[in-house]
Amino acid sequence: MKVFTQISEIRAERWQNASLSWGLVPTMGYLHQGHLSLVQQARAENDRVGVSIFVNPTQFNDAKDLEGYPRNLERDLELLEIEGVDLVWTPTSEIVYPPLFQTYVEVEQITRLLEGAARPGHFRGVTTVVSKLFNVFQPHRAYFGQKDAQQVVVIKRMVEDLNFNTDIVVGAIQREADGLALSSRNVKLSPEARQQATCLYRALTQAQAAYEQGERDADKLRRMMLDVIGQASLAQEDYVSIAHPETLAELDTVEDRALFSMAVFVDGVRLIDNMLIP
Ligand code: AMP
């Protein structure tokens, strides 16, 4: 496994193996089984697998959140070595954003909703850094987790709108045994908050069950999710949403397809989760 910081080193390795298929897994590090499931899928579907580890400052709108983001590069590299990754890019912020940097990629309407409304500028940072990753690696396929449902919708939109020559592959949400979606942020939960953090998954599964029993009124389904969250004393919702899976517009009635999603602060730690219906 080769680990490089410089763009020129990544490019050289990529183009020495130009005729092979490349899969890329972008990450912010502090890897868990959610990331590794994407790596495993990339490993199975490509000749070469690249991973980037970069805590991207432009997608954080809160300096404290950026500073407090968990990091453990040594352990991450050990895990990636075990998975048989070929190439890892661990750039510094100065390499990705040199002093005169001033060019951003912005997807419009769909980034103003949900996570975009709660975290202004977040997706501008995501699409900019992902564009740069695609230009550096020029991967045939790039792997993203359904955990970040809106990110998937936004990246797919960007790839189509800007004609990136990369297929977007989406991996299923990996969860703990009690349903909590794996996240690098879960380490910040106190034992009690960790227990209560299952309220996100419980809210989603209860709404899903109600949908399956015939409930189509989106407001009733939203209220059902809010009730479950309300029962957890340490939990405070940022938003709950029942939206169209592509436009992300809030629905009045769930016809055939919907994205149930939410962001919840559990003891101050912001967690997100979602479920695609059906
Ligand atoms: P991050 O390091 O949080 O930026 O995540 C890197 C990639 O891993 C993103 O595409 C995430 O959607 C994906 N990911 C994070 N957590 C999970 C999870 N629990 N299941 C599946 N994919 C995940």
CA–centroid distance, 35 to ligand 1, in Å, is 5
Three-class SS of residue 251?
Answer: coil
The letter for the amino acid at 55 is V
255: domain CATH number is: 3.30.1300.10
| Cα 134 from Cα 5, distance rounded (Å) | 16
Provide the mean pLDDT of the chain. 98
Domain span holding position 209:
184-277
Name beta bridge partners: 237: 264
Is ligand 1 within 6 A of the CB of residue 46?
Answer: no
Average of per-residue pLDDT across 205-229: 98
Contact 220, 254 (CB under 8 A): no
Catalytic residues: 35
CA–centroid distance, 8 to ligand 1, in Å, is 27
pLDDT of residue 169: 99
Average of per-residue pLDDT across 143-152: 98
The verdict on residue 203 lying in a domain is yes
Whole-number percent of the chain with pLDDT over 90: 99
Q: Ligand 1: which residue has its CA nearest to atom 15?
A: 34
Which tens digit of pLDDT belongs to each residue from 53-104? 999 999 999 999 999 999 999 999 999 999 999 999 999 999 999 999 999 9
**Distances, alpha carbon 19 to alpha carbons 46, 132, 216, in Å:** 12, 21, 50
Confidence of residue 248 (pLDDT cuts 50, 70, 90): very high
The verdict on residue 178 lying in a domain is no
| b/e per residue 194-214 (b: at least 16 CB within 10 A) | bebbbbbbbbbeebbebbeee
CA–centroid distance, 100 to ligand 1, in Å, is 30
Q: Ligand 1: which residue has its CA nearest to atom 22?
A: 145
pLDDT of residue 157: 98
Ordered alpha helix ranges (H), 46-168: 63-67, 73-82, 93-96, 114-118, 122-137, 149-161
126: domain CATH number is: 3.40.50.620
Confidence of residue 221 (pLDDT cuts 50, 70, 90): very high
Examine the domain organization and report whether 262 and 237 are in the same domain: yes
Examine the domain organization and report whether 148 and 244 are in the same domain: no
pLDDT of residue 205: 98
Residue 29 CA: nearest ligand 1 atom is: 2
Contact 83, 36 (CB under 8 A): yes
The verdict on residue 176 lying in a domain is no
Examine the domain organization and report whether 108 and 233 are in the same domain: no
| Cα 188 from Cα 236, distance rounded (Å) | 16
Examine the domain organization and report whether 103 and 144 are in the same domain: yes
The total of structural domains in the chain comes to 2
The verdict on residue 254 lying in a domain is yes
pLDDT of residue 123: 98
Three-class SS of residue 31?
Answer: coil
Residue 148 CA: nearest ligand 1 atom is: 12
The verdict on residue 60 lying in a domain is yes
Examine the domain organization and report whether 150 and 109 are in the same domain: yes
Residues with Cβ within 8 Å of residue 194, at least 6 apart in sequence = 180, 186
Examine the domain organization and report whether 86 and 211 are in the same domain: no
Q: Is the peptide bond before 278 cis (omega within 30 degrees of 0)?
A: yes
Reported pTM:
0.97
